[in-house]
Chains A and B, each alone.
Chain A
Amino acid sequence: MLEIKNLKAQIEDKTILSGVNLKVNKGEVHAIMGPNGSGKSTLSSVIAGNEDYEVSSGSIKYEGEDLLEMAPEERSHRGVFLSFQYPVEIPGLSVSNFIKTAINEKRKAFGQENISAKELLQLFKEKCELLNIDKEYLSRSLNEGFSGGEKKRNEIFQMAMMEPKLSILDETDSGLDIDALKIVANGVNSLKSSSNSIILITHYQRLLNYIVPDFVHILKDGKIVMSGDKSLALKLEKEGYSFLN
């Protein structure tokens, strides 16, 4: 699914990623943990195609193709989804209109007809139930006046609607109370299948109690310095990052 080799990236003149290697196969869940400023969000931004970051060397292969050659929207059409750490607000644009546009743009890219109103409504209904969302919220302005938790839930709602192949959840757990965390985690778990993959970026082991990763990686100073199974996350929680030294 995704193969990152010796990836180096910088913002302006500051190097943030200094040689990341990561392989994610179909159906796998990977967690990436690491101290503040270690490059976790940069990694997700580079995968999604944020042009603020410049890739100086290395490669990212996605389904065998060069991901770095693709525009951000093309990556999205091909199934790359980023749940943003800080989702932006777009006043006056309704959640439903935004998601409808996103779905139709993807369809257009593959030469398909727009989604029918009936199909869309059915999908909205299904996914709202999955994430315990009031349908009224579909007509609100995108993220405007949303609480931190609502914004995160909205990201996962979009993920559910768009059915991506590779989802990167960037600190989706931060800002969620324990009930919301359970709902979001249940949602993510039900979207998991043998044909899609998930990368979880998180500070806390707490999320991993609900979404159990196959692999845990520790990113430090722009490199993955340690990989293991979920026991690594538990060890981290107990001992902090100091044991890495």
Chain B
Amino acid sequence: MKIEPKISEDILLDEVTSKEYEYGFTTNIESEKIEKGLNEDVIKFISKKKNEPDWMLDFRLEAFKVWKEMEEPDWANINYPKPDYQDIVYYCAPKQKNKLNSLDDLDPEMKRTFDRLGISIDEQKRLANVAVDIVMDSVSVATSFKEKLAELGIIFCPISEAIQKYPELVKKYIGTVIPVRDNFFSALNSAVFSDGSFCYIPKGTVCPLELSTYFRINEAGTGQFERTLVIAEEDSCVSYLEGCTAPMRNENQLHAAVVELVALDSAEIKYSTVQNWYPGDKNGKGGVFNFVTKRGICHDNAKISWTQIETGSAVTWKYPSCVLKGKNSIGEFFSVAVTNNFQQADTGTKMVHLGENSKSTIIAKGICAGKSNGSYRGLVKIAKGAKNSRNFSQCDSLLMGDKCGSHTFPYIEVDNKSSQVEHEATTSKIGEDQIFYCNQRGIGTEEAVALIVNGYCKEVLNKLPMEFAVEAKKLLEISLEGSVG
């Protein structure tokens, strides 16, 4: 006789927590790891394990020296217990009996892990347009399509391999975009990175495939420190995607990656990230600490475009940036950052205009639910010599419920009179009237939220390569299930 009483928002917010992390399981593969703690011997061990040349070891040791003198930054709008850096295992490689010749040789247990992640290698191979370099814990276990790329002179391999095979390229560029002493986490990464991806596109070459890397943290208590270096020579073009999931852990796990992009004259690099690391449980216990330094440098007429969908991690500290060094260079940043439960994210970008007529665009979309906190932090700096430069920034936030927080910290510095900077910001809530409208058309509340959120993120989702856009939409739905009534 009665219309069902309105379910209180609190109950619905609690329902969010009933959504357990879907990828929480551990693979039983024998790992080879060293004792906890960090000192010169550990660094020497890692370097030796990797068969590295002396210059690489020196780079690491120098970084370690710098790091020891640095302090962990605390300016971000995040609260977390500072990790004990002596309580972390810095090297862990899954034991392999033989070197892999093809994906078929993969450890069946490991293969099953990837299958459960929903992006089975088989499927990836069938997609045929995607070359995958998979990093499990710290070592690349499988690289595909390498030969096909090699015909074009494109190098796509684990960075440890690149250090062996192409030392002159690595030596020339590593640490040039993000210097060792750039920040606490980049210094740490420079000292202990165990693996990552290396990508080189020769002059005038358009890479015919989406290059993709899949990262995953598997061993309890291990930090993951990948190092990625992408070099696009003059007039070349490449699109690169990384995706991440991590299994469920009770202790917080540290992830401190460094990604450097070099776009030489008239080159174009598109770098997309879908990040779904374990965000911690409903009480805010556990989860990955994600402290990532990503930066690209654009020479004359070059373009770098960052696209990121961030749904995971307990704490995110991440500012993919562009140094627009060359004239007419272009930097872009498209971001969707979702926080739920007790997640915290302080993320944004830096656009540093040095060259004349340089242009940058920032579209940042934050979605906050549960008791989470999301912050956008962005710097637009236009140097004196960067005449006639332009920036457009748009920062939107979407709130679900009344226990979350969204913050915007824009920093704008313009040092010449011929440049133009625009900043727009909006904050909105998903309206009950929008949900009811969908309900009346036969669309249930969960589905309605997904439609509204996907609509809100459309500008960013459209920037992703097709097949990943589908995955990203799915991820957004899972992340926000049950967060609105």
Which A residues lie at the B interface, using CB under 8 A?
46, 48-59, 66, 68, 71-73, 75-77, 81-82, 84, 87-88, 90-93, 97-98, 101-102, 105-106, 109, 141-142, 158, 162
Contacts and interface: CB of A to CB of B under 8 A. Distances in A.
A1 B352 CA distance: 66
A109 B454 CA distance: 23
B3 A102 contact: no
Contacts of B451: 90, 93, 97-98, 101
Given A68-B2, A91-B455, A98-B451, A84 B442 contact: no
B442 A50 contact: no
B439 A73 contact: yes
Contacts of B2: 54-56, 68
Interface in B329-373: none
Shortest Cβ-Cβ A-B pairs, 6 listed: A92-B455, A93-B455, A76-B442, A92-B458, A72-B439, A102-B441
A55 B1 CA distance: 7
Contact of B431 (A82, A88, A97): A88
12 contacts: A48-B440, A57-B1, A84-B437, A90-B455, A92-B455, A92-B459, A98-B438, A98-B441, A98-B451, A101-B451, A105-B443, A142-B455
Contacts of A142: 455
Given A49-B439, A73-B442, A82-B440, A90 B4 contact: no
B454 A92 contact: yes
A113 B439 CA distance: 20
Contacts of A46: 3
Interface in B412-468: 431-434, 436-444, 447, 451-452, 454-459
Nearest to A94: B455
Nearest to B437: A88
**Size category of the binding interface on chain B:** 20 to 34
Contacts of A101: 443, 447, 451
Contacts of B443: 73, 101-102, 105
A90 B434 contact: yes
A50 B459 contact: no
A87 B442 contact: no
Nearest to A106: B442
Nearest to A54: B3
A87 B437 contact: yes
A53 B437 contact: no
Nearest to B439: A72
Give the residue among B5, B440, B444 with the most A Cβ atoms within 10 A: B440
Contacts of A57: 1
Contacts of B447: 101, 105
A50 B458 contact: no
Given A73-B439, A88-B433, A68 B455 contact: no
Given A50-B436, A72-B436, A92-B459, A105 B1 contact: no
B99 interface: no
A58 B1 CA distance: 7
Contact of A109 (B433, B442, B456, B459): B442
B6 interface: yes
Nearest to A9: B3
B87 to A, nearest CB: 45
Contacts of B433: 88
Contacts of B5: 54
A84 B438 CA distance: 12
A57 B2 CA distance: 7
Given A55-B2, A68-B2, A90 B442 contact: no
A106 to B, nearest CB: 5
Nearest to A77: B442
Given A51-B3, A55-B3, A88 B442 contact: no
A51 B441 contact: no
A59 B1 contact: yes
Nearest to A49: B3
Contacts of A73: 439-440, 442-444
Contacts of A91: 455-456
A162 B441 contact: yes
Give the residue among A56, A90, A102 with the most B Cβ atoms within 10 A: A90
A75 B3 CA distance: 12
A87 B438 CA distance: 11
Contacts of A82: 440
A201 to B, nearest CB: 15
A58 B2 CA distance: 9
B458 A102 contact: no
